[in-house]
Amino acid sequence: MKKEKLKELIGQMTLEEKASFCSGEDFWHTQGLPRLGIPAVMVSDGPHGLRKQDESADHLGLNGSIPAVCFPAGCGLAASFNRQLIQEMGKTLGQECQAEGVSVILGPAVNIKRSPLCGRNFEYYSEDPLVASEMAGALIEGVQSKNVGTSIKHFLANNQETRRMSCSSQVDERALREIYLAAFEGAVTKKKPWTVMCSYNRINGVYAAENKKYLTDVLRREWGFDGYVMSDWGAVNDRVADLEAGLDLEMPSSMGLNDKLIVEAVRNGTLKEETVDQAVERILNIVFRFEENRDKNAVFDRDKDHEQAKQVAEETIVLLKNEDNILPFSENKKIAFIGEFAEKPRYQGGGSSHINSHRVVSALKAARDNTNIIYAKGYLAEQEETDGQLLMQAVQAAKEADGAVIFAGLPDSFESEGFDRTHMSMPECQNKLIEEIARVQPNVVVVLHNGSPVEMPWISRVKGVLEAYLGGQAVGSAAYDILFGKVNPSAKLPETFPVKLEDNPSYLNFPGEKDIVAYKEGIFVGYRYYDKKKMDVLFPFGHGLSYTAFEYSHLKLDSHRIKDTDKLKVSLDVTNTGNRAGKEIVQIYVSDKESTVIRPVKELREFAKVELQPGETKTVSFTLDKRAFAYYNTQIHDWHVESGDFAVMAGRSSRDIVLSEDVYVESTVTIPVHFTTDSTLGDVMENPGARQIVEKLFAESAFGGGQKEEETSPDTVAASDGMMEAMMRYMPLRGILSFGGEAAIGIDQLQKLVDKLNQV
């Protein structure tokens, strides 16, 4: 509907009616107004399947919803590194929403995986903001191509479940920009989601719902977002302040309570009616965008969509280890499937994204035509304690087989929306099972069902590991086909698997003290931290194996000297040197080789997934812009590139860099320098103009003289010169007052010197 028509409709509403549009009509619908022809439209949970509930249902997934198709959760989707795959999945979700009359699906969820313990990590994409943003953008593009909205969430810095409705995420400006905001930024600016959902938590003391800096200044004015902002369910704390900050829609319904506060504030002059009008216009714009583009003939074909869910799952399973090429198995071999997850896989997380799957295929069911498969339960999924009888049966089955596949991971009680994990371990009964099977069977493969990293104390005892993540309702079929070579694995880790929990950079500050969560690791999240510390990890970010091999060659830059306003074109050749078709994920990292600010060793700046037949070579191309070389400068509150050399690297993972080429990037921005009496001589001397001014001043000072030559040995003179230089480098200008010797000056003269330096 055109803007003029929307304004005309709003002009016909009473203040009370306008206020009512600022909250839901019920649990899942926006407000309608029949007398003006304004429909109530439905929103529904996602983001990896349609969880459509009736008005009496809950938000946390405790009650029923319609039968639907569960695609892989975000943790797995990101492992695909395949934008096109996720976009196609988004189109299917959009089609399902059209068939069910859902205007907005509540997702994608892009919050950064700061700690492996976050209970909602299964729904989030990555520890890296580029991966999170690109995967989210692909899903948004796919869903919205069907004229159905998305709601990217949870804005902002919602990285834990502990006290999520009251805690304050204390994050410095640079970390917010480079890590936490960046996960949203690309998706919002490039793919333009119809709505944004704000989080429960506070950001540096201010609730997300009433944080004008981020809801209005950044999201709307800086990024150009033009949809409506809705609250997470129950995230409103001060309705009038929230409305002024940019929160348009409160969900669910406040049952009229907050509507009255809005009316009262307008009437007593503490809230402008124009602010209410603006919120209503934003909401109605999205309502009619959906309503005017309804596909009344859309069909929810669950069986067809199930097959697509299997195709997606095939690209979300990561082959972490394949010692002696144990995989793929031959179907002629007798293989023991062990573990309850082989029969009843954990394929999704708990809480608001929980899908009522219309069918679920386990690995055991997928293997029903393979008479060489034997099965032993091995453990009870919801128990920590070992069941001796089940363990004994599993060990016996493993002895009788040519190999064993143990299906393990985290049960529902270990990770879900609403609470965080307290450790990174799997249930003790499962770890013991793996150890005992490995004692009697040399050919052991572990298939993991989990939403975030787990410790693997048995890793050296097994030959193969498949990370299946939470792969949706067809995960069993996908896992079986990879185990037996019908599908070549092509996924890679979107997060680092540390050796132990204590290695994680947030360990000392997660989940915080009471309501304060200090993000003291700053920008050093995930691989940025592990690389900087040169720390061993279990499996690095970007790692994933294949049943074939790929060779990288001919890395080329279209220039080796550019300005920060230029774009750099990067290309390389990738060759499949193996004997079967496969897909490789090429990762491009950038390293600032001579930065004066603290930066990661390298950062992922681009990636692409390429499919190759045996012997085939393809050229993969990328374009890097200013942001690929920039850091967020808190002095100018903008992205900045320092002039200097950068390495552009192509790698199979963050720890497997294959090729590298250097480029010199020249900054076109001069950072203003402001000297004070507290500025150190070293900082002054870095500025050529200022250096000339002060050199003469301290040449005759106590630091410029030294002992007489005949009284000292050459070694002593050299040592003294080095010490003097170091001391002088970090001495503030005001030190000249005390140590200036013959060059000593007064306070007034010192200030004149500082003024002169600032004129350079």
Which alpha helices (DSSP H) does 412-464 contain, by range? Answer: 428-440
Res. 730: pLDDT tops 60: yes
Residue 541 burial class via C-beta count within 10 angstroms: exposed 0-12, middle 13-18, buried 19 and up: buried
627-683: per-residue pLDDT in tens? 999 999 999 999 999 999 999 999 999 999 999 999 999 999 988 889 999 999 889
Given pLDDT bands bounded at 50, 70 and 90, which one contains residue 686? Answer: confident
Residue 131 in 3-state DSSP? helix
Res. 720: pLDDT tops 80: no
**pLDDT value at position 709?**
47
**pLDDT value at position 506?**
98
**pLDDT value at position 718?**
54
CA 431, distance to chain mean position in Å, is 29
**DSSP annotation string for 387-414:** -HHHHHHHHHHHHHSSEEEEEEE--GGG
Per-residue pLDDT, averaged over 151-179, amounts to: 98
Res. 711: pLDDT tops 70: no
**pLDDT value at position 699?**
62
Q: Which token pair is 528? A: 């940025």
Number of other residues whose CB lies within 10 A of the CB of residue 67: 14
Calculate helix-pair angle for 3-11, 273-291, nearest 10 degrees: 120
Per-residue pLDDT, averaged over 477-486, amounts to: 98
Per-residue pLDDT, averaged over 475-479, amounts to: 98
**Measured distance CA(244)–CA(216) in Å, rounded:** 9
CA atoms within 13 A on the CB side of 264: 8
**Measured distance CA(213)–CA(196) in Å, rounded:** 15
**DSSP annotation string for 12-37:** TS-HHHHHHTTB-SSSSB---BGGGT
Lowest mean pLDDT among 220-224, 279-283, 377-381, 731-735: 731-735
Q: Name the class of domain 307-532.
A: alpha beta
Per-residue pLDDT, averaged over 168-188, amounts to: 98
**pLDDT value at position 56?**
59
**pLDDT value at position 707?**
44
Q: How close are the terminal C-alpha atoms of the chain, in Å?
A: 57
Q: Can you give the C-alpha Rg of the chain in angstroms?
A: 30
Nearest to 197, CA basis, from 236, 163, 161:
236
- β-strands 582-592, 644-653 pairing: antiparallel
Choice among 45, 128, 232, 592 that is catalytic: 232
**pLDDT value at position 62?**
56
Give the 3-state secondary structure percentages of the chain, helix then strand then coil, rounded to 5.
35, 20, 45
239-266: per-residue pLDDT in tens? 999 999 999 999 999 999 999 999 999 9
Q: Give percent of the chain above pLDDT 90.
A: 87
Per-residue pLDDT, averaged over 585-595, amounts to: 98
Calculate helix-pair angle for 129-144, 182-191, nearest 10 degrees: 30
217 carries an active-site annotation = no
Lowest mean pLDDT among 4-18, 49-63, 150-164: 49-63
Q: Which token pair is 207? A: 């609730």
Residue 467 pairs in a beta bridge with 318, 448
Helix (H) or strand (E) holding 697: helix 688-699
Nearest to 52, CA basis, from 355, 268, 290, 306:
355
**pLDDT value at position 672?**
85
502-555: per-residue pLDDT in tens? 999 999 999 999 999 999 999 999 999 999 999 999 999 999 999 999 999 999
Q: Which fold has domain 550-666?
A: Immunoglobulin-like (2.60.40)
Res. 708: pLDDT tops 50: no
Nearest to 437, CA basis, from 482, 491, 397, 490:
397
Cβ proximity of 311 and 84 under 8 Å: no
Give the list of residues 6+ apart from residue 697 with CB closer than 8 angstroms, or none. Answer: 736, 743, 745, 753
358-395: per-residue pLDDT in tens? 999 999 999 999 999 999 999 999 999 999 999 999 99
CA distances from 578 to 89, 460, 484, 598, 616 (A): 30, 26, 18, 41, 10
Q: In CATH, which of 3.40.50.300, 3.20.20.300, 3.40.1350.10, 2.40.50.140 is domain 3-291?
A: 3.20.20.300
Res. 468: pLDDT tops 50: yes
- Specify the residue for token string 């201010």: 206
Per-residue pLDDT, averaged over 675-698, amounts to: 85
**pLDDT value at position 715?**
56
**pLDDT value at position 712?**
52
Name the DSSP letter for residue 471: -
Whether 307-532 and 3-291 are alike in CATH topology: the answer is: no
Per-residue pLDDT, averaged over 123-127, amounts to: 98
* Mean residue pLDDT across the chain: 94
Residue 318 in 3-state DSSP? strand
Residue 51 burial class via C-beta count within 10 angstroms: exposed 0-12, middle 13-18, buried 19 and up: buried
Given pLDDT bands bounded at 50, 70 and 90, which one contains residue 346? Answer: very high
Cβ proximity of 91 and 138 under 8 Å: no
**pLDDT value at position 706?**
44
**Measured distance CA(239)–CA(124) in Å, rounded:** 28
CA 616, distance to chain mean position in Å, is 33
**pLDDT value at position 692?**
86
Res. 287: pLDDT tops 80: yes
The domain limits of the chain are 3-291, 307-532, 550-666, 681-757
CA distances from 273 to 24, 239, 243, 277, 578 (A): 19, 14, 11, 6, 67
